[in-house]
A and B are shown apart, each in its own frame.
Chain A
Amino acid sequence: MQRRQFLKASAATVAALSAPSILRAANSPLKVGTYGGYFQESFDQYIYPEFTAATGIEIESIAEPTGEAWLVQLAQAARAGQAPADVSMMAQLARIKGERSGLWAPLDEAALSNLGNLPDHFVHRYEDGKVYGTGAVSWYITLVTNTGAFVEAPTSWTALWDAANADKLGLMSMATNSFLLEITATTYFGGTDILKTDEGVLQVMDKLAEVKPNVRLWYRDEGQFQQALETGEIPMGQYYHDVTGLAASQGKPVRSSFPDEGAVLDSGSWVVSKASKAIEPAQEFINYMAQPEIQAKLSRFVGTAPTVSRELTDLTDEEFAAVSSDKTPILPFNEIYVDRGDWINQMWSEKITG
C-alpha cells in the first residue's frame, strides 16, 4: 500500500469510526446469519462467493445459535437500534414469534421478482399482507439407525416404542425441536389434528411417555448424539436427514430412513431485522436465494430439500431422493407452540423428560 493510499484510507477510517451510522451505510458487507457449523460452512463455500460475483454485494457470514437464543439477541439488539445480522435464517417458531412482535422489516414485493417460485406457505406476510420473509431451506428429521446394530432399516416410527429397543434411543430434548408430538399424533392418532385441544395434547403425551424406557439420551447437543450414533453407542434415534446422509457418504455406519408415516419436514426462513440499515441488499439476497437453480444447488451441496416446487428445479430423481421423499411429510404444528408453548413445555418436562 502506498503512503498516499494509506493516508486516505486512515482518514476515511477515522471519519467512519467517528460516525458509526455512516460506517454501516457505506459499502459495508451484508451480514447474513445461518446456524453455525455445517450450514454456515456450506453457505460460505457454495453460496456466498457466487452471490457476491453475481451482485457485487459482499457478505459477512454470521454464526447463529440454534433455538430461540438468536431471536432474543436480535430482539434485544433491535431495541438498541442494532442488527447483529441483516438477514437471518430463522426456525419457524422463532419466525412467528418475531412476526407477532413486529421484529421483521417489511420487504418491497416489487424487489422480489422470484417470489412466485415459492409456495404460499413459504411466503411469510404480516396480517396487513406485507411480505417480511421467505422459505430459505427445508430439511427432514428422520428415523436414523446405526447400520452395524440394525441390519434392516426400520420402516415405521413405531420402532421407537418397540420393547426390543430398550435404552437404545437418542431423541431431541424439547417438544419444539423434536416434533415428537406431531410424530406420535401421526403414528397413533391419525394426524396432528388431535393436538388442537389441551386434552388431545395430554393424550398424545401419555402415548409418547411410553417410549421413556427406550430413551438413553434426550439430547440438546447434536454433536453428542451424532457421535454416539456413529459409534453405535446409541444405535437409533431421530436426526437430520442431510447430516446423516453426509456422514454415511463419508463411510460412517449410519443410515437415515423415511418412515411410512412420513418424516418431519422442518424449515428455516429468511427474515430481515427491522434494525437493519441494509434492506435493499437484503432483499436482493432473499430474491437471489428463491431461484430454482440456487435451491437445486443447495440440495446438491448442502443436502437440504428445495423450498421451491420440485418441477421448477433440474434435480434428477436420484438427487431428489437424496434430500427428500415423495412420502407425505409430517408438518410441524408451530401454532400450538406459539400460543400454548409455556404450557406444552411444562407438561413436556413433567411427563416426557422428567
Chain B
Amino acid sequence: MSATPVQTAAPRWLGLWPAAMLTLFFLVPFGIMLAVSVAHRDVSGFYEWSFEWDSYARFLSAFFGKVMAVSISVSLTAAAICVALAFPFTVFLSNMGHRAQTRILVVLLSALALSEVIIGFSLSTLLSQTAGIGNLFHWLGLIDEPRAYTPSLFALITGLCYIGFPFAVLVLYPPVSRLDPEIVEAARVMGASGPRAFFGVIVPNLRGAIVGAFILVFVFTLGSYLLPQLLGRSEHWTLSVHITDQAVYQSNLPFGAAMSVFLMLVALALVGLASLAGRERGAA
C-alpha cells in the first residue's frame, strides 16, 4: 500500500504565523531600538534621527563596565541559587503523590501572579529593623539587637530568587517527571549510593533541562529594575536601573537604547555559551 498523503489540519500559510509574530513583536521593536540608539540626543528635548555612535561611546567607560559586571554577577548568582534549590525540589516533587504535586504546583504558579512591586515591598518589610525577622531573631536570643537585612545584596538576591524559583521549577518539572525511574534503580542495584545516583545519573541525564532553567532565570532577572532599587544599595543598581533612569527620568532615549543593545548582546552571548556548553558535554 502506498503512503496516504499527509493530512494537515491547517493551511500552509499558517506556518508563516510564528515568523510573522516574531517579526511584529521582536524584530520590529528591536529595529526601532537600534535606530534610536544611533539617533542624536537633543539635550533640551528629545532626539533627532541621525547616525552617530555617541551613545555607544559613552557606554564604553569603566563606570558602566562595573555596572554591567554587577548586573551579570547578580543575575548569575540568582540563577545558580534558583537552579540549585529548584532541581532537588523538583526531583522530590515528582516522587510525591499526584494530588500533592498538583497542589504544590498551583501554589508555585500563584506566586507568579505577584508583581515585582508587591514582592519588593513585602521583602523590605520582612527584612526591616522595625517589623522584620530581626525582631524574631532578637526574641529568640540569637542577636543582641533587632537589625535590618535590607537594603543589601542578600535582600536583592533573595528577591530575585523568589521571582526566579517558580520559573526554574516549571522548566524542570516536565523532564524530571518523565525521567525513567528504572535508570536510578539500575544505578542503585549496581551499588551506587543515593547521592552518587543523584549526581552520577539524574543530573547528567537532565543537563539540558538544568541549563534551560538556568538561562531562563538568568535572562529574567537581568531585566529586573525594581527589586535592585527596593532591596539593593546604590552599588547594586543593575544596568536595567540605569536604563530606566536614562529613558524615564533623563529623557535620553538614545543612550538608554544603546545600553539596552549592549545588555542584550551580552545576554545573548552568555546564553549562547551556556547552551553550547550544555550541548557538548551532554553529547560526550
Stretch at the interface among B71-79, B179-187, B248-256, B266-274: B248-256
Using Cβ atoms and an 8 Å threshold, which residues of chain A touch B63?
346, 349-350, 354
Interface 1/0s, chain A 302-342, versus B by CB < 8 A? 00000000000000000000000000000000000011011
Q: Are A72 and B245 in contact (CB under 8 A)?
A: no
Q: Are A354 and B234 in contact (CB under 8 A)?
A: yes
Q: Are B234 and A173 in contact (CB under 8 A)?
A: yes
- Of the candidates A75, A103, A224, A231, the one whose C-beta lies within 8 Å of that of B230 is A224
* Contacts known (A342-B252, A354-B63); A101 close to B44, Cβ less than 8 A: yes
Q: Are A233 and B130 in contact (CB under 8 A)?
A: yes
7 contacts between A and B (CB under 8 A): A68-B250, A218-B234, A221-B230, A231-B130, A233-B130, A341-B43, A350-B63
Interface 1/0s, chain B 37-55, versus A by CB < 8 A? 0000111111000000000
Docked CA distance A67–B249 (Å): 5
Chain A residue nearest to B45 (CB atoms) is A101
Within 8 A of B (CB), among A188-225: 215-221, 224
Number of residue pairs across A and B with beta carbons under 8 Å? 81
Q: Are A349 and B242 in contact (CB under 8 A)?
A: yes
A130 beta carbon closer than 8 Å to chain B: no
Chain B residue nearest to A341 (CB atoms) is B43
Using Cβ atoms and an 8 Å threshold, which residues of chain A touch B41?
342
* Contacts known (A72-B251, A350-B63); A100 close to B234, Cβ less than 8 A: no
Within 8 A of A (CB), among B121-142: 121, 124, 128-131
Chain A residues bordering chain B, tally (CB within 8 A): 40
Q: How far is the CB of B239 from chain A (nearest CB, A)?
A: 12
Within 8 A of B (CB), among A92-130: 96-98, 100-101, 103
Q: Which 8 A-B pairs have the closest CB atoms?
A: A100-B44, A101-B45, A67-B249, A353-B234, A68-B251, A231-B130, A72-B251, A218-B234
Q: How far is the CB of B245 from chain A (nearest CB, A)?
A: 7
Chain A residues touching B, majority SS: helix
Q: Are A71 and B251 in contact (CB under 8 A)?
A: yes
- Of the candidates A68, A76, A233, A346, the one whose C-beta lies within 8 Å of that of B129 is A233
- Of the candidates B121, B131, B250, B253, the one whose C-beta lies within 8 Å of that of A345 is B250
Q: Are A220 and B148 in contact (CB under 8 A)?
A: no
Chain A residue nearest to B251 (CB atoms) is A68
A232 beta carbon closer than 8 Å to chain B: yes
A174 beta carbon closer than 8 Å to chain B: yes
- Of the candidates A96, A103, A219, A354, the one whose C-beta lies within 8 Å of that of B235 is A354
B94 beta carbon closer than 8 Å to chain A: no
Using Cβ atoms and an 8 Å threshold, which residues of chain B touch A75?
45-46
Q: Are A174 and B249 in contact (CB under 8 A)?
A: yes
Q: Are A217 and B151 in contact (CB under 8 A)?
A: yes
Q: How far is the CB of B122 from chain A (nearest CB, A)?
A: 12
Using Cβ atoms and an 8 Å threshold, which residues of chain A touch B224?
none
A22 beta carbon closer than 8 Å to chain B: no
A69 beta carbon closer than 8 Å to chain B: yes
Q: Which residues of B contact A (CB under 8 A)?
A: 41-46, 58, 63, 66, 121, 124, 128-131, 148, 151, 229-230, 233-235, 237, 242, 245, 248-253
- Of the candidates A103, A231, A342, A353, the one whose C-beta lies within 8 Å of that of B128 is A231
* Contacts known (A349-B63, A354-B63); A67 close to B248, Cβ less than 8 A: yes
* Contacts known (A67-B248, A67-B249, A68-B248); A338 close to B43, Cβ less than 8 A: yes
Using Cβ atoms and an 8 Å threshold, which residues of chain B touch A338?
43-44
Docked CA distance A72–B42 (Å): 12
Q: How far is the CB of B119 from chain A (nearest CB, A)?
A: 14
Q: How far is the CB of B161 from chain A (nearest CB, A)?
A: 21
Docked CA distance A232–B132 (Å): 13
Q: Which residues of A contact B (CB under 8 A)?
A: 65, 67-69, 71-72, 75-76, 96-98, 100-101, 103, 173-174, 176-177, 215-221, 224, 228, 231-233, 338-339, 341-342, 345-346, 349-350, 353-354
Using Cβ atoms and an 8 Å threshold, which residues of chain B touch A173?
234
Using Cβ atoms and an 8 Å threshold, which residues of chain A touch B131?
231
Docked CA distance A40–B146 (Å): 39
- Of the candidates B66, B234, B250, the one whose C-beta lies within 8 Å of that of A341 is B250
Using Cβ atoms and an 8 Å threshold, which residues of chain A touch B245?
174, 345, 349
Docked CA distance A69–B253 (Å): 11
Using Cβ atoms and an 8 Å threshold, which residues of chain A touch B253?
72
Using Cβ atoms and an 8 Å threshold, which residues of chain B touch A100?
44-45
Q: Are A216 and B250 in contact (CB under 8 A)?
A: no
Chain A residue nearest to B241 (CB atoms) is A220
Using Cβ atoms and an 8 Å threshold, which residues of chain A touch B250?
68, 176, 341-342, 345
Using Cβ atoms and an 8 Å threshold, which residues of chain A touch B121?
224
Using Cβ atoms and an 8 Å threshold, which residues of chain B touch A221?
229-230
Using Cβ atoms and an 8 Å threshold, which residues of chain B touch A232?
130
Using Cβ atoms and an 8 Å threshold, which residues of chain A touch B234?
173, 215, 218, 353-354
Docked CA distance A67–B248 (Å): 7
Chain A residue nearest to B252 (CB atoms) is A342
Docked CA distance A174–B246 (Å): 11
Docked CA distance A220–B128 (Å): 19
Using Cβ atoms and an 8 Å threshold, which residues of chain A touch B130?
231-233
Docked CA distance A75–B42 (Å): 12
Using Cβ atoms and an 8 Å threshold, which residues of chain B touch A101?
42, 44-46
Q: Are A68 and B249 in contact (CB under 8 A)?
A: yes
Using Cβ atoms and an 8 Å threshold, which residues of chain B touch A177?
249
Docked CA distance A349–B235 (Å): 10
Chain A residue nearest to B62 (CB atoms) is A350
Using Cβ atoms and an 8 Å threshold, which residues of chain B touch A97?
44-45, 251
Q: How far is the CB of A278 from chain B (nearest CB, A)?
A: 23
Using Cβ atoms and an 8 Å threshold, which residues of chain B touch A228?
128
Q: Are B46 and A76 in contact (CB under 8 A)?
A: yes
Q: Are A353 and B45 in contact (CB under 8 A)?
A: no
Chain B residue nearest to A352 (CB atoms) is B234
Docked CA distance A69–B148 (Å): 33
